[in-house]
Amino acid sequence: MPGRTRTLPTIPQADVASHNTAKSCYVTVGTKVYDITPFLEDHPGGGDLIVEYGGKDVKDIMDDTASHFHSESAWEILDDYLVGFVATESVMKSVTDSTHPADIVPLPPSETGAEQLRKDGVNQPLYENTGMSCEEDLSKETDATSDYRTHKFLDLNKPLLMQVWRGGFTKDFYLEQVHRPRHYKGGDSAPLFGNFLEPLSKTPWWVVPTVWVPPVAYGTYLSSQGLSTAGLASYWIIGLCIWTLVEYVLHRFLFHLDQYLPDNRVGLTLHFLLHGIHHYLPMDRLRLVMPPTLFLVLATPFWYLAHAVFFYDWNAATAVFCGGIFGYICYDLTHYFLHHKTRFWDWVFKTELPMTPPKVIKTT
């Protein structure tokens, strides 16, 4: 996954003001500096109008609807040309007074500045596919309004499933966006259905063993009535091994078969419901394990399949099925705790890893 850095330089006010021609035209909005030279010919009002404001702040004229209305798209286009930050007197005074100047403005991209940025942890790789630079970014709250305005995908404040259904997204766009992780405000769960089905989509981790361990234990007991201990163990372990194959096949040939995913709203919506939401909101602790209702639907065919394959012995088929379900329980809990785990035993055994606050990459 190729990385790219996005640390931007500070530019002196006088330097910004000198870029006021069609060959090199800078404008500012507050402390942000934009090199809009490539956009001059594409500006609906003509490039000459922009050059008039070359080297100057354009916020007032951008906001002036009487002069020319600028939509949100215009502001988004402007963001594509961000090249740095203007070092105004007030900003430079803050930098001078601060003991951590790099927290206020990025340092210039000189060898000395780059080295200092590396020491401060500011110049981190920003990965293009995910829009993130480190693991801690998974837990940084996503600005729902800004995210929707920028990517035109899903509004985290509204029920997600119907947005996928009605969005008219192409498969390529959907896959690109669903694999860019978001984190819902406050660590809560984003709305999926927005109606009475909502509670069925949220499952605390402890529900999985609570609901499924008793049936597995009971089924194993019933099987033991018609099998020897060795036979019961053998069939049960066969079921456990079959689960590992089923899990691989589901992920390899269903959940992650992007190339063959149907390019229509039915295929995309089903993908999002069954697996895509996990990639989209990977730190949603209530959607990391499978809801019992959904698992019951998915597991029922395997009950009949087990009894069709091991038709010669009901007890053997039941033992195989119970072993498989136990494998699922272990998988789902392992999956959950790889994302969310308590540090209790780390405290007990003094094995805690030092957790330092994540550094903020200065891109705006």
Task: Note the pLDDT of residue 79.
Answer: 79
The answer, as to whether pTM is greater than 0.85, is no
Q: Binding site for heme: what residues are annotated?
A: 43, 70
Rg (CA), the chain: 28
pLDDT tens readout for residues 264-313: 999 999 999 888 888 888 878 888 888 999 899 989 999 999 999 999 99
Calpha distance 179→1 (Å, rounded): 13
Contact status, residue 329 vs residue 101, Cβ threshold 8 Å? no
Calpha distance 85→101 (Å, rounded): 14
Amino acid at 270: L
Q: 249-253, long-range: CB within 8 Å, 24+ apart, which pairs?
A: none
> Is residue 21 within a helix (H) or strand (E), and if so which, with residue range?
none
> Is residue 216 within a helix (H) or strand (E), and if so which, with residue range?
helix 207-224
pLDDT tens readout for residues 30-75: 878 888 888 887 776 677 888 888 988 888 888 776 666 666 667 7
Task: Note the pLDDT of residue 123.
Answer: 47
Q: Binding site for Zn(2+): what residues are annotated?
A: 251, 256, 275, 278-279, 335, 339
Q: Binding site: what residues are annotated?
A: 43, 70, 251, 256, 275, 278-279, 335, 339
Domains observed in the chain: 3-123 (3.10.120.10), 135-198 (no CATH), 201-349 (no CATH)
Calpha distance 242→248 (Å, rounded): 10
| pLDDT(5) > 70 | no
Q: 109 to each of 82, 116, 293, how far by Cα in Å?
A: 15, 10, 55
| pLDDT(257) > 70 | yes
Two structure tokens written together for 290: 């499978």
Calpha distance 255→189 (Å, rounded): 21
